[in-house]
């Protein structure tokens, strides 16, 4: 049956719409599959190390001496000076929350950090994880100053709330991976889940997860342009270093004339 000129674009759009999720899923699946085939479990030592650190801190923090050390090295609260809290940020990422099972944090880190390490590389994985955790630490202070009456604000008693764990880093890395493989629906799904979390339970953790979503999206959006600019700058610097350098002529044998 033939289509009129008015019906044709609508029919094409109707047929193309279901293809969008399939295409995004295929792109994400193929990208993760190829990265997994190239590295596998042996290709993610960073993720395994993070899991081991979470397990270590989950055991140590429940001992008398260990709890004292963890409190002073890795526990972050908004009551701390910002510079001290930021110095503790790398350690706080591996200190699991007391009210949540440590195996949940370890499973999240193994899956998301592992996929990020395989697809993004160790350097980007570390940078995104630390940036998201530091952003959450900074946001907590701003939100508490705003107060619960302001949108995104938090009550004053959250000043003393223990703020540790890898969840913000996990959220940011998941968004970064989805953005990298152009899976817009997954980015929207993660963002929607964080919004629902805040709507149902508007506490410190929920707002920090939403902030981590924004950090992951921003870093992913600027990653390729900044990387391209850095590569161009590095190439220009290398070319400039070669200019004026005298050519090295290899020594030759007097008898054969060949290089020695």
Give all domains of the chain, ordered by start, each with its CATH number. 40-223 (1.20.1540.10)
Cα–Cα distance, 82 to 92 (Å, whole number): 14
Q: What is the pLDDT of residue 221?
A: 92
- Count of residues for the chain? 260
Cα–Cα distance, 199 to 207 (Å, whole number): 10
Q: What is the pLDDT of residue 175?
A: 96
1 pLDDT band, cuts 50/70/90, is: very low
Q: What is the pLDDT of residue 24?
A: 76
Can you tell me the mean pLDDT for 196-217? 94
Exposed, middle or buried by CB within 10 Å (0-12, 13-18, 19+), for 44?
buried
| Predicted model pTM | 0.79
Can you tell me the mean pLDDT for 28-44? 81
pLDDT > 90 fraction of the chain, expressed in percent and rounded? 59
DSSP character at residue 259:
B
Query: Which of 136, 129, 108 is CA-nearest to residue 211?
Result: 136
* Residue 147, SS3 per DSSP: coil
Q: What is the pLDDT of residue 16?
A: 47
| Alpha helices, H only, the chain | 7-16, 19-39, 45-60, 64-73, 82-92, 102-108, 114-120, 122-146, 167-180, 184-200, 204-242
Q: Which of 7-11, 194-198, 248-252 has the highest mean pLDDT?
A: 194-198
């Amino acid at each position: 049956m033939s289509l009129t000129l008015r019906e044709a674009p609508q029919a094409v759009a109707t047929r193309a719409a279901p293809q969008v999720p399939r295409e995004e899923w295929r792109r994400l699946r193929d990208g993760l599959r190829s990265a997994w085939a190239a590295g596998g479990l042996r290709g993610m030592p960073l993720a395994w190390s993070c899991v081991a650190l979470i397990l270590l801190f989950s055991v140590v923090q429940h001992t008398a001496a260990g709890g004292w050390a963890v409190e002073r090295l890795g526990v972050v609260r908004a009551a701390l000076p910002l510079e001290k809290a930021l110095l503790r940020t790398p350690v706080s990422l591996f200190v699991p929350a007391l009210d949540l099972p440590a195996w949940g944090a370890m499973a999240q880190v193994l899956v998301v950090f592992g996929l990020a390490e395989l697809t993004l590389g160790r350097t980007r994985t570390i940078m995104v994880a630390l940036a998201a955790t530091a952003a959450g630490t900074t946001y907590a202070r701003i939100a508490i100053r705003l107060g619960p009456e302001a949108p995104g604000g938090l009550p004053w008693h959250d000043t003393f709330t223990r703020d540790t764990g890898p969840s913000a880093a996990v959220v940011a890395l998941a968004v970064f991976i989805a953005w990298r493989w152009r899976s817009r629906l997954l980015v929207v799904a993660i963002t929607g889940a964080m919004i629902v979390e805040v709507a149902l339970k508007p506490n410190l953790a929920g707002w920090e997860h939403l902030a981590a979503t924004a950090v992951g999206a921003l870093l992913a959006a600027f990653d390729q342009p900044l990387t391209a600019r850095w590569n161009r700058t590095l190439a220009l610097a290398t070319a400039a270093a070669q200019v004026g350098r005298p050519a090295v002529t290899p020594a030759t044998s007097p008898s054969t004339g060949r290089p020695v």
